[in-house]
Amino acid sequence: MIDLQRIRGIYERIAIDAAGLVPVCVENQAAVDFSAVSEYCCFYVNFGRMQEGVIGARPQWHTRGSLVCEIYTRKNIGPGRGLQIASPIIEALMALNDTVPPIEQQIIARVGTLAGPAQAQLQDRPHHFTRFSMPFHARGRP
């Protein structure tokens, strides 16, 4: 059986490390007063379809889902800062697809086609909003 928390951790760790000094909040983490922070990211791992049946063999544990990154930056300074924060996170996630995993690697994680980044000026918050998402798929070795 595949360890879902380890899969979540792979993607979350990449986003946290790539964001540098920008705080990254992940699910089930103590929240801070976001209106008091000038910039931050929220990163979500949403699980979807799992376990594919194989005729004549045991089911394969393939896990699919989506990754969503929401970036909040100071309002009225232009859209560039959100894109500056998003770029290294996107690059780090896409780099997963460039590696050949060593035989001892337990979980193989990949990402799909990027959607976004899209941007919006939030009316009821002191932040500018940048968002991107991408599908993911991961597999655990037996």
Which pLDDT score, from 0 to 100, does residue 53 have?
Answer: 65
Cα separation, 119 vs 82, in Å, equals 8
Which pLDDT score, from 0 to 100, does residue 61 have?
Answer: 72
Which pLDDT score, from 0 to 100, does residue 133 have?
Answer: 97
Which pLDDT score, from 0 to 100, does residue 1 have?
Answer: 52
Which pLDDT score, from 0 to 100, does residue 142 have?
Answer: 55
**Are 37 and 31 spatial neighbours (Cβ–Cβ below 8 Å)?**
no
Domain segments of the chain as ranges = 4-140
Q: Kindly report the pTM of this predicted structure.
A: 0.85
Q: Give 102's DSSP letter.
A: P
Among left, alpha and beta (phi > 0; psi -120 to 50; other), residue 4 is alpha
Cα separation, 137 vs 62, in Å, equals 7
Other CB atoms within 10 A of residue 12 CB:
19
Averaged pLDDT, groups of 10, the chain, 142 residues long: 82 94 84 75 90 66 90 82 94 93 82 92 81 91 56
Which pLDDT score, from 0 to 100, does residue 111 have?
Answer: 96
**Are 17 and 88 spatial neighbours (Cβ–Cβ below 8 Å)?**
no
Which pLDDT score, from 0 to 100, does residue 141 have?
Answer: 57
Which pLDDT score, from 0 to 100, does residue 2 have?
Answer: 63
Token pair in block for residue 24: 């990254």
Domain 4-140 has CATH 3.30.2000.30: yes
